[in-house]
Amino acid sequence: METRKKILSIDDEENIRLLLSCELEDEGYEVISLGDPQQAMEVIEKEHPDIVLLDIKMPQLSGMELLKMIRDKYYDLPVILLSAYSFYKRDVAAMASDYYVVKSADLTELKKLIKKIFKTRL
Amino acid sequence: MTAPSALNNETRKSVAAIARADILVGIPSYNNEKTIGHVTEAIKLGLAKYYPDARAVIFNSDGGSEDQTRAVFERIAKTDSYDTFFISKPRHPLENISGRYIGIPGKGSAFKAIFEAAQLLGVKACAVLDSDLRSITPEWIQLLLAPVLAKDYGYVCPFYRRYKYDGTITNSIAYPFTRALYGRRVRQPIGGDFGFSGKLLDLYLAQDVWDTDVTRFGIDIWMTTTAIVNGFKICQSFMGAKIHDDKDPGADLGPMFIQVVGTIFNLMGTYESHWRKVSGSRPTAILGFQSETEPKPLKVDVSRMTAKFTEGMSTHLDSYRRILSAEVLAKLLEVAEMAGENMDFPKALWTNVVFDYAVFYQQAPDRQQVLQSLIPLYYGFISSFVHETENLDDYQAEEVIEELCQVYEDSKPYLLKRWGQKKS
């Protein structure tokens, strides 16, 4: 039996976490939701997710900072940055993510990218 | 077969006198008297500021400059200017070597001499920096060396902010094609300024490429591709803006284009088993403090590029019939018919043109002519890119380049199909 792909979703907003986990679980993924980005490295170490969905603007620790930490330790772990603002796409640091998605209630683009990552994973 | 050494006797003696070093920074040069002083000063200060306890060497590998390049280098390298810049003197005096390399004249031969000197000195890390840089600061030394010395990276590529029309060979072929082939997003694969480990330079010197275009402008893409394919840990360092001697894409970039693209195509043959398995691409970490920087605008002569495209379409039509698939040729002829002020060369068409060339090149007896005939099409595509991005800022233009990269990646099945047809 094929094991379900594991997605770690990091967002300080509970509603967003709920939306992501409901929709992505319906797609057949296992979703771990995390509200506190400061615990992210520990959770990644323990859970070995296949993809990380990362909110950029979080009060405890910015997604960009966390992305740097992830990249430094886990070069191969795909990360999708999520933000309500397309502005952050211009940040050089955002280029260290696999993809950048502007947040929306319609998760079609995000689902497509997740499928693409799993299909083309090196 | 071992390639002949690129170090002349005098340089070899200078290296032997130094015996051992921790770091070597190399500057290739040829008639760069106006800019090499600034580059040397920045390197000297950067080494003293960030590596005060290291045994450091700075090596100007010159191609036989007829101006004062070497004299300027030697004067600046020896001058004790640390105090002026509020930097303490390093524990070990900075060693400097200036010598003319031996071999085919070109940047790659200059690099080979630098690699050999670094290997003889047993350095832990080495960096190379272009001699026409105007925006270099002492911090660049740390940005290129620290990932190797402190974080165990094997290869450090620069990440610059560049004006949207600076680096057109990078933006139209070197970056998107390398990314699609080998699956790594290295934004400036031919950036010119790199840091690397002693282990990687051993691998570079062991390769049998020192009679090819790698000895010239092919060196940068060869270094990057070799590091990627051989699994070295790679990162990019944010260096700010790159300001160097202007190179209008419409001016004669022919030799550089041929040497870079020829090297990419050659590497495809060498690393076929690697790139055929790759689909999609992965990002590469970007280190360093990010600041807002404004790259220097560059004037481009679009009408000259469009004219070169139109002229090339008639001069090289027979070549295009030989090299391109019927479908690609038909679309290209349509583009040529409509060519004018508002040039529109679709990204998917450009990508397939490059792929058809890459395939044809592998078995072409007249490789130089083949590459020569690609240049007008490159000018056509760049004219179209300039037209598409003329009202966009650098960030928005970067998104257009990202779209092009996606097209390259999505079109890879076409390349694989054509590559397979070549073999059968």
ipTM of the complex: 0.71
Q: Which residues of A touch B285 (CB under 8 A)?
A: 68, 71-72, 75, 96
A16 within domain boundaries: yes
Contact A117 B284 (CB under 8 A): no
Instruction: Please tell me if residue B187 touches chain A, with a CB cutoff of 8 Å.
Output: yes
A102 within domain boundaries: yes
Tell me the torsion sign for CA atoms A111, A112, A115, A121.
Answer: negative
Contact A75 B233 (CB under 8 A): yes
The answer on pLDDT for A122 being more than 50 is no
Residue A45 CB burial class (10 angstroms; 0-12, 13-18, ≥19): exposed
The answer on pLDDT for B320 being more than 90 is yes
Q: Which residues of B touch A71 (CB under 8 A)?
A: 283, 285
Instruction: Report the domain count for chain A.
Output: 1
Mean pLDDT of B152-177: 94
A44 within domain boundaries: yes
Q: What CATH number is associated with residue A106?
A: 3.40.50.2300
Instruction: Please tell me if residue B286 touches chain A, with a CB cutoff of 8 Å.
Output: yes
Pairwise CA distance, residues B26 & B30, whole Å = 13
Domain map of chain B by residue range? 9-287, 302-423
* Residue A9: C-alpha distances to residues A36, A39, B193 (Å): 11, 12, 37
Read off the pLDDT of residues B216-264 as tens digits, 9 standing for 90 and up. Answer: 999 999 999 999 999 999 999 999 888 777 665 555 678 899 999 999 9
A115 within domain boundaries: yes
B334: Cβ contacts below 8 Å, ≥ 6 apart: none
Mean pLDDT of A77-90: 84
The pLDDT > 90 percentage for chain A reads 57
To the nearest whole Å, the CA of A71 is away from the closest chain B CA by 6
Which of B361, B362, B359 is CA-nearest to residue B372?
A: B361
Domain that holds residue A116: 6-120
The pLDDT > 90 percentage for chain B reads 82
Pairwise CA distance, residues B328 & B323, whole Å = 10
B363: Cβ contacts below 8 Å, ≥ 6 apart: B422
Tell me the CATH architecture of domain B9-287. Answer: Alpha-Beta Complex (3.90)
Q: Among all residues of chain B, which has the CA nearest to that of A64?
A: B286
Model confidence at B127, pLDDT cuts 50, 70, 90, reads very high
Q: Which residues of B touch A89 (CB under 8 A)?
A: 399
Which of A93, A100, A57 is CA-nearest to residue B406?
A: A100
pLDDT of amino acid B252: 65
Question: What mean pLDDT is reported for chain A?
Answer: 89
* Secondary structure (DSSP) of B24-67: EEEEEESS-TTTHHHHHHHHHHHHHHH-TTS-EEEEEEES--SS
Q: Which residue of B282, B292, B396 to mutate against A (max A Cβ within 10 Å)?
A: B282
